[in-house]
Amino acid sequence: MPDALLSLDSVSKSYWRGPSEVRVLSDASLELRAGEFMGVWGRRGAGKTTLLRIAAGLETPDRGAVRFDGEDLSLLSEQGHARLRRDEIGWVRRSGPRSELCILDYVALPLLIAHGQREANRRADHALRRVGMAECAGQHWESLSDGERALVAIAHGIARRPRLLLIDDPTANLGVREREEIMRLLRALVEETNLAVLMTVPDMPTALRSHQLRALSGGRLLTPPPESHDDDDDNVIDFPGVQRSA
């Protein structure tokens, strides 16, 4: 089995809210390889976004180690962190541009310094075509539906051709059909390009479309029993210790 592209080893993270310490992550561990798609689900406030920020090197854990391609992120310089996020890790954001950029320019923006305007636009156009949003290249963020915004956000994340894609709840506010479209797209991207995807979602059914499942509850990442998960998307998977909410 190939080495992990991303690994979290016994990662813990707490925040202070007034006089109280809130433990967000507690000894959380995972391994994600190229060509794998991992879904992490948990209720609101479970720590899903914190998990992604730590995986991207945007936050430092209180304890534990985070490694990308075997390299400990805590040992990287500021320039090393910037290079990693520029060249290796794509982040899919739910919020769009804060300016009046058209969609093509928004997707091309992260590519300008490294590739120049013409090549940046070419790669941005390719990314938009891959997610089925080429016809929206001249439009603006405010004119798009929630489903269209989700697809553009993915195009923005893959335009730099990263090795790892981090996605925070890509199906928020979407209907069933749009959710299915997003999940099919992500699985296809993983299989076509050997991309690694770590995605967080607030519900189990969406996470079932990934290759691997984890539940984030009480700060811990829980893994389903091996016998409970096969290729049948209709399986019910029981995560021991998960706190369920109505």
| 25, 13 contact by CB (below 8 A) | yes
Q: What's the token pair of residue 85? A: 């996020």
Report the share of the chain in percent with pLDDT over 90. Answer: 65
SS3 assignment, position 11: strand
In this model, does residue 241 exceed pLDDT 70?
A: no
Measured distance between the N- and C-terminal CA atoms of the chain, rounded to whole angstroms: 39
- Segment 185-207 shows an average pLDDT of 90
In this model, does residue 226 exceed pLDDT 80?
A: no
Domain covering 1-88+163-246 assigned CATH 3.40.50.300 in the classification: yes
In this model, does residue 230 exceed pLDDT 60?
A: no
Q: What is the CA 244 to chain-centroid distance, rounded?
A: 23
Dihedrals φ, ψ of 67, to 5°? -125, 140
- Give the other-Cβ count within 10 Å of 184's Cβ: 11
> What's the confidence (pLDDT) of residue 242?
44
| CA distance readout (Å), 218 to 9, 13, 38, 60, 215 | 17, 12, 19, 19, 10
pLDDT digits (tens, 9 = 90+) for 98-137: 778 999 999 999 899 889 999 999 999 999 999 999 999 9
In this model, does residue 246 exceed pLDDT 60?
A: no
pLDDT digits (tens, 9 = 90+) for 31-64: 999 999 999 988 888 899 999 999 999 999 999 9
pLDDT digits (tens, 9 = 90+) for 7-36: 999 999 999 888 888 899 999 999 999 999
- Segment 83-102 shows an average pLDDT of 87
| 94, 51 contact by CB (below 8 A) | no
- Give the other-Cβ count within 10 Å of 177's Cβ: 8
> What's the confidence (pLDDT) of residue 98?
77
- How would residue 73 be classed by pLDDT, with cut points 50, 70 and 90? very high
| CA distance readout (Å), 219 to 30, 61, 107, 168, 237 | 13, 13, 34, 17, 20
Which residue from 161, 131, 159, 162 is spatially nearest to 147, judged by alpha carbons?
Answer: 131
- How would residue 218 be classed by pLDDT, with cut points 50, 70 and 90? confident
Domain boundaries, the chain: 1-88+163-246, 96-161
Average pLDDT score, the chain = 87
- In the block, tokens 């541009």 appear at 97
